Amino acid sequence: MRNKRIVALVLISIFAIMFAFAGGSSESAEVSTSGRPVLRVAMECGYAPYNWTQPTDANGAVPISGSQDYAYGYDVMMAKLIAENIGYDLEIVRLDWDSLVPAVQSGTVDCAIAGQSITSDRLQMVDFTSPYYYATVVCLTNNNSPYASAQGISDLAGATCTSQLGTIWYDVCLPQIPDANILPAQDSAPAMLVALNSGRVDLVCTDMPTAQAALMVYPDMTLLDFSGSDDDFQVSEEEINIGISVRKGNTELLNAINSVLDTLTVEDFNRMMDEAIQVQPLNQ
């Protein structure tokens, strides 16, 4: 009997290990002390107004896993809404931008809600939900810049510029500026803005929410929006649609998140983003 019990315990342990490493399904999510599954959401926690780090839980910020800090912003607002509606507890995991997709692929996190464009390259590595935000590509320059009155990208000819590493702003948009002097990409959106504010570049390319948030911190900057003109950046819908990435084949979680997003409108997205912009910590 003892041998049978030992064999049974070994088999149970093996199945437990297999279950723990199965990944790719919300059924294998860890369970919190409340008894509910945990939704592990990755983001930079440094990309306002999408997400940022702050020292307190003000405005409903969420603790960052393994840290004394808290995360808030549009992405956290969205993560809280999704977790609540699908019956999960929420855990925020802070990762560098380049680590987001690998973490989703490996199952280290369940999803990334981090202002990611739904590009064909990313779709080869992860699955995406329907958009949870629709971005407009814009530029920022300083008020005293010769480019401050630009009416289209042709007016930006010869500009020294940069943007954030691994984004369509840097990879797709900046090369469309005639004779642009494109400097190395910056590791983060804040670093990109510092480069502009310090005068190291004439302009940066980003999206509308990031630019709007920047203007509240850097009032000497000017926003250049060429949308609706014939001299605008040429980007596909997939490049400006912002989605939530999940592990390939995790249709259960993908469908659950989409069921929540389906209840929201563009007006809801914009309202939430406006709220995030107003309470970003650099604006305090």
Domain boundaries, position 166: 137-226
Residues 190 and 112 in one domain: no
Given pLDDT bands bounded at 50, 70 and 90, which one contains residue 151? Answer: very high
Given pLDDT bands bounded at 50, 70 and 90, which one contains residue 32? Answer: low
Please indicate, yes or no, if residue 11 is contained in any of the structural domains.
no
Residues 172 and 32 in one domain: no
Q: What is the CATH number of the domain that holds 198?
A: 3.40.190.10
Please indicate, yes or no, if residue 9 is contained in any of the structural domains.
no
Q: Tens of pLDDT along 163-193?
A: 999 899 999 999 999 999 999 999 988 899 9
- Assess contact for 70 and 57: CB atoms under 8 A: yes
Residue 126 has pLDDT above 90, yes or no: yes
Cα 45 from Cα 70, distance rounded (Å): 9
Q: Tens of pLDDT along 45-83?
A: 998 899 999 999 999 999 999 999 999 999 999 999 999
Segment 194-205 shows an average pLDDT of: 97
Residues 262 and 126 in one domain: yes
What total of structural domains would you count in the chain? 2
Residues 80 and 219 in one domain: no
Instruction: Enter the pTM of the model.
Output: 0.78
Please indicate, yes or no, if residue 2 is contained in any of the structural domains.
no
Average pLDDT in the chain: 89
Residue 194 has pLDDT above 50, yes or no: yes
